[in-house]
Amino acid sequence: MNTANASDIVITSIHARAVNVPLEHPVRTSVGVISTSPLVLIDLHASDGSVGRAYLFTYTPMALEATRQMVLALGEALKGQPLAPLDLDRLLAQRLRLLGRTGIALMACAGIDMAAWDALAVARGLPLVELLGGRRRAVPAYDSHSMDGVELGVERARRAVAQGFGAIKTKVGYATLAEDLRVVRALRQAIGDDTQLLVDFNQGLSVPEAVRRIHAFEGEGIAWVEEPTLQEDYAGHARIREQVRLPIQIGENWCGPGEMAKALDASACDFVMPDAMKIGGVTGWLRAAALAQARGLPMSSHIFQEVSVHLLAVTPTCHLLERMDLAGPVLAEPLAFENGTAIAPPQPGTGIAWNEDAVRRFEVRAC
């Protein structure tokens, strides 16, 4: 543990690198395919020698350099500031008031927030979950799959069950309802009745078509239906909820707790699943968890499994951790799963550290 008084620790520099990491399975959805994992790796250096690390997922390689530059620009503005994440959040909100903390700016702020909390936990000699007042405990996870079709879908589902996962998710929204049902029924037969089956439409349907397809799913043992229509259409999700019996899950695209509050006010969902990057990092997640607790809504995570395992452990309505390994190839120690659960690692911080050989192999340098 570092002995410096935490109130005396300041940020000395923030570095950012871009990598484009291969995926074992491309992420196929009803609205497009993600064939690689484009990441911005952040290193926040503090005056006591602590280093906080985080990564951002930009979905497309086209956004890598713009996101990296935004992190660097905001990092310059934070040099010399105390390592106090809540104060940093207020400062960044003020600096971006006119521009707006949305899009790439929101992502960059969240990445810095996660790195700042990581550095603070390292400085205190505590895992992040313990810094936040919780304890390291097993968090149940679901194995997150793609629009894989029947053959690959069944293969991946059986592997997940063999690894002890009590829930799997598949992406649906095929060209026809008949194809959706063919895949769902094949997966249900493969995993048996004791494993939860979750489905994700990735915003691919109109409200009437969502109602039609969800009605058809109601006898298939589906535990939740994710983003059946446009994520920002909270009224549309509310209309779907009124007409179907299956629980509706949304939240991965909420840009900050304010958007989450609007969705909850509209009664748009039964479950919530914020994304650590889009909701505003650790700081945004804690605010989102309070909203979920107030409404009694089970809260799951979207990607970012390394930090989310800490955050869900302090979330009052903790539900399921999404297992989708986007950064594993560039991590020194990827998050471990055992019997369908994950536990935050014991070392100080989040446990994120880079495999520098892999980073050099996959690094994308600006032209």
The SS3 call for residue 135 is coil
Q: Where are the beta strands (DSSP E) in 64-191?
A: 139-144, 167-171
In angstroms, the CA 338 to CA 318 distance is 18
First to last CA, the chain: 40
171 is catalytic: yes
From the list 145, 171, 237, 319, the catalytic residue is: 171
Name residue 169's amino acid. K
DSSP conformation letters of 305-350:
HHHHHHHHHT-TTB--EEE--SSGGGBSSPPPEETTEE---SSSBS
Both tokens of 319, joined, read 């539900």
Q: Which residue has the tokens 């592997």?
A: 159
Burial class (CB in 10 A: 0-12, 13-18, 19+), 14: buried
Q: Which DSSP symbol is given to 147?
A: S
From the list 145, 169, 278, 302, the catalytic residue is: 302
Q: Which residue has the tokens 């969800």?
A: 214
Burial class (CB in 10 A: 0-12, 13-18, 19+), 338: exposed
302 is catalytic: yes
Strands 321-323 and 51-57 turn out to be unpaired
> Catalytic residues, which ones?
171, 302
